[in-house]
Each structure stands twice: as structure tokens, then as C-alpha cells.
């Protein structure tokens, strides 16, 4: 496999459930990202990991909890979500963290999350 793979592709969960989104990259990249894409809104950067350390957390509610056990895997743990959290969650990776830099990002196909 190559590229960035996200599972599951679709997820429906109740507000009291606990679930996890998984992202895996086989590109040898050092940085990984979680984005939230809601209808008619810009992509929202949620978390950034560089060399397995979290380097950015953009005021994301604590009901979202990221985990990066190694440079190839990234998780987003979800618990007690709200209906407004329904969105497409995209994972991305880049060779190095792209702060002010030229590195392009490679994206997964996303997980379409619906909170009921």
C-alpha cells in the first residue's frame, strides 16, 4: 500500500458512544495532521504531530483526543460527541511539518462521521 489510508470511511455514532478514527501513512513522512471539513467551511486544522510529538492543538474540544503511537499511525479518539461534530475528518501527512515551508501534504480519503 502507498499513500495515506483512513478507516473507517463512514461512521455513525450516538452521542454517548466512544469510537476511534485511524490513519496510516506509508510514505515515510515525519508529520501528520487531523483536519475537520464541515459543509461550506474552510478546512479546520485540529492537531499536528511532528516526529510523534503533538505540536499544535487548535482549541479543539476535549471530546476529541489524538494519539500518535509512531510516525506511521495517527488516531483520533472520539467520545460524547455532539451532532455539530458531524463532518468529514481528513488525515494528512508531509515529509516534515510544513510551517512556513514548501512541503506539500498528502491526504487520506477521510472518514465521514455522523453523530446522531
Partner 1 sequence: AQKVTQAQTEISVVEKEDVTLDCVYETRDTTYYLFWYKQPPSGELVFLIRRNSFDEQNEISGRYSWNFQKSTSSFNFTITASQVVDSAVYFCALSAGNNDMRFGAGTRLTVKP
Residues that bind partner 1 (CB under 8 A): 4, 33, 40-43, 45, 48, 56, 88, 90, 92, 97-102, 104-110, 112
Rounded to a whole number of angstroms, the minimum distance from the CB of residue 106 to partner 1 is: 7
Question: Which residue's CB is nearer to partner 1, number 50 or number 81?
Answer: 50
Rounded to a whole number of angstroms, the minimum distance from the CB of residue 82 to partner 1 is: 22
Cis amide prior to 27 (ω within 30 degrees):
no
86 contact partners, CB below 8 Å, separation of at least 6? 113, 114, 115
Q: Do 86 and 114 form a contact (C-beta atoms < 8 A)?
A: yes
Question: Which residue's CB is nearer to partner 1, number 48 or number 115?
Answer: 48
Rounded to a whole number of angstroms, the minimum distance from the CB of residue 116 to partner 1 is: 21
Phi, psi of 96 (to 5 degrees): -135, 165
Rounded to a whole number of angstroms, the minimum distance from the CB of residue 88 to partner 1 is: 7
Beta bridge partners of residue 32, listed in sequence order: 49, 93
Question: Which residue's CB is nearer to partner 1, number 56 or number 67?
Answer: 56
Query: Measured between alpha carbons, how far is 37 from 62 in angstroms, rounded to an integer?
Result: 18
Question: Which residue's CB is nearer to partner 1, number 13 or number 45?
Answer: 45
Amino acid at each position: 500500500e502507498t499513500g495515506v489510508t483512513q478507516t473507517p470511511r463512514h461512521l455513525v455514532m450516538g452521542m454517548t458512544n466512544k469510537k476511534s478514527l485511524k490513519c496510516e501513512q506509508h510514505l515515510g513522512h515525519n508529520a501528520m495532521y487531523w483536519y475537520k471539513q464541515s459543509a461550506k467551511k474552510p478546512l479546520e486544522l485540529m492537531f499536528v504531530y511532528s516526529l510523534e510529538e503533538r505540536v499544535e492543538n487548535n482549541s479543539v474540544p476535549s471530546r476529541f483526543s489524538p494519539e500518535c503511537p509512531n510516525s506511521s499511525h495517527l488516531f483520533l479518539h472520539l467520545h460524547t460527541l455532539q451532532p455539530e461534530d458531524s463532518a468529514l475528518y481528513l488525515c494528512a501527512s508531509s515529509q516534515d511539518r510544513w510551517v512556513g515551508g514548501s512541503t506539500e501534504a498528502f491526504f487520506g480519503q477521510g472518514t465521514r462521521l455522523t453523530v446522531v
